[in-house]
Chain A
Amino acid sequence: NAGVTQTPKFQVLKTGQSMTLQCAQDMNHNSMYWYRQDPGMGLRLIYYSASEGTTDKGEVPNGYNVSRLNKREFSLRLESAAPSQTSVYFCASSERTGSTEAFFGQGTRLTVV
């Protein structure tokens, strides 16, 4: 089982460049999430999608946009990358929002120079 798949695994961007992080899940989950993980800050929620067709801001949404393309796919876009967006990004999915466990992808390590 693939679970949650993220692409790319590594990326280096120059300040001001744009890019999209891709995420797909094959568990037929309704809810999907994007987190960033920084040393000393733990995992913080950027955006989430409770179900296909809906998206909502999390704790740190500034500088990001998301698209829930279909039930399987949830992408994260950086329109104009900044060094402060250097981080490890994780996509996750869960059966539904509320009280069910989330399953995470392997992460994308992004460096903005």
Chain B
Amino acid sequence: EDQVTQSPEALRLQEGESSSLNCSYTVSGLRGLFWYRQDPGKGPEFLFTLYSAGEEKEKERLKATLTKKESFLHITAPKPEDSATYLCAVIMIKAAGNKLTFGGGTRVLVKP
């Protein structure tokens, strides 16, 4: 069964304390992997798309990487405004339409 698992479920960081979030997937043929940020009471906000192993994308303090079985979202020197839930989602090659399969998310809290 196709699955997307994110870890840890929650992460508490001090401002400036770098860390990484993990998204592992067991799918038969990956078409694309997406990272989203979600603030409380709001919809997910698109961050990155990764298509092939070895690919990397960066945006401000965030960097996403992709291997054949997992993706990492690295947060470098985080600030309190980076506090949010980070969601990972995949689209499989065999998926009908555009079925995004989401992981459960990682709640990140950055304390000043």
- Distance in angstroms between the alpha carbons of A104 and B89 in the assembled complex: 13
Contact B97 A56 (CB under 8 A): yes
Contact A43 B46 (CB under 8 A): no
Contact B98 A48 (CB under 8 A): yes
Contact A107 B91 (CB under 8 A): no
Kindly state the interface size class of chain B when it binds its partner: 20 to 34
Majority secondary structure of chain B interface residues (helix, strand, loop or mixed): loop
Where the two chains meet, the residues of B that have a C-beta atom closer than 8 Å to any C-beta of A are 31-32, 34, 36, 41-46, 49, 51, 87, 89, 91, 96-100, 102-105
A-B contact pairs, 22 of them (CB 8 A): A41-B104, A42-B87, A42-B103, A42-B104, A43-B87, A43-B89, A48-B98, A48-B99, A50-B98, A98-B91, A98-B98, A99-B91, A101-B49, A102-B34, A102-B100, A103-B46, A104-B36, A104-B43, A106-B41, A107-B41, A107-B42, A107-B43
Where the two chains meet, the residues of A that have a C-beta atom closer than 8 Å to any C-beta of B are 4, 31, 33, 40-45, 48, 50, 56, 58-59, 90, 92, 94, 96-107
